[in-house]
Amino acid sequence: LASTAVATYTRQDSTKIRGYDAHLPFYGKNPWIRLLLVRHGESLGNEDKSLLKYRADHAIPLSKTGREQSREAGRIIREFYENDPHSTKERHRRLWTSPYVRARETAEIILEETGGWIKDKREHILLGEQQFGMFEGQSLQDIEKNHPQEYAHFNKCIESEGRFWARMPLGESRFDVAKRVHQSFGTFHRDAQYHNITDIIIVSHGVTLRALAMMWLHRPPEWFEKEKNPNLCSIRCLNENEDCGYVFNGFAPAKDHSNYMHAAHMYRGSQGIEP
C-alpha cells in the first residue's frame, strides 16, 4: 500500500469487546447495539485537493490505494467477527453507508471481503460528508478575497473557540452535521428492535463519524474539537454507550499542503489548515 498503517490489528482485539448471546440480544427494555464506524478509503480528492475546484465532492471516487485500503478494512472486520466468541456467521449484520461515491465503493469492497459475515448493505443520506458550500475547493486566500464578510464571521467563531458552530455559506457547520446524523439513530434502533440487527457497520466520512460518535456517546462539543479526524479505513467500535476505541487505526492520509478547504482538514483561523 502507498500509505502506512498507523497500527496493526491483533486477533485479541475482538475478544476484549463484550459480545452477546445469540439467543439473548436484548438488555432491559432496549436492544443492545454494537457499531463499527469505518471511514472511507483514500479518494482521488485526498490525493489532490485541487480536484474539488472542478468536481463535486460527492462524485469523487476512491483512488487505487483507497481500494486496497478498503480491502484491508474488510479483512479486518471479518477477523473481528471470526474471533469474537459470541458472534455467529448466521446472525444478521447490516452495513449502512453514505451515498457519496467513495463511501459506496468502500462499502462494496468491505462487503466482498467479509465473506458473508455482513448480510446486507443499505444507504442513508444523513451519513453524507459535511457540506462546505461556497468554500469548497477554494484556498483560504481565495475565500478571504472572494467572500470577505462570510470569512470574517467564520473566523470570528473560530477565534472564540467556536469552530463547532461556524457555518459555511450554502454549507453546514459541524453543529449541523451532528443534528442531521442524530436523526439516523432511529433507523439503527429500529433495525435492532424490529429486525434483531444489533451489529451495525457504518461507512462514512471523518467529520460525520466524529459527530456520530459524539451524539451516540452523549459528549459535548468540546469533546468533538479535541477528537482527531479518523484515519482512512480506520475502524472504531462503539459498544452500546461505551467507546471501545479503534479496532484498527487505519491509514494516515498523505500530507497535503495545497491549503484547500475540505472536510478532511481542520481550519485554524489565519494559520490555515492541518490534517
Residue-wise pLDDT for 170-207, tens only, equals: 889 999 999 999 999 999 999 999 999 999 999 999 99
Look-up of cell digits 482512512 = 232
The per-residue DSSP string of 106-153 comes to: HHHHHHHHTTTSS-EEEE-GGGPPPP-GGGTT-BHHHHHHH-HHHHHH
Q: What is the Cα 141 distance to its own chain's centre? A: 28
Helix, coil or strand: residue 215: helix
Tally Cβ neighbours within 10 Å of residue 183.
11
CA–CA separation, 75 and 110 (whole Å): 8
CA–CA separation, 190 and 187 (whole Å): 5
Q: Using the 8-state DSSP alphabet, how is residue 160 labeled?
A: T
Which residues lie across from 223 on neighbouring strands? none
Q: What is the Cα 243 distance to its own chain's centre? A: 15
Residue-wise pLDDT for 113-132, tens only, equals: 999 999 999 999 999 999 98
How many residues can be counted in the chain? 275
Helix, coil or strand: residue 241: coil
Q: How far apart are the first and last CA of the chain?
A: 20
Which residues lie across from 202 on neighbouring strands? 37, 96
Residue 26 confidence (pLDDT) above 50: no
| pTM for the predicted model, two decimal places | 0.82
pLDDT of residue 34: 96
Q: Using the 8-state DSSP alphabet, how is residue 217 labeled?
A: T
> How much of the chain exceeds pLDDT 90, in percent?
58
Strand 120-123 to strand 93-97: parallel, antiparallel, or no bridges (unpaired)? parallel
Helix, coil or strand: residue 33: coil
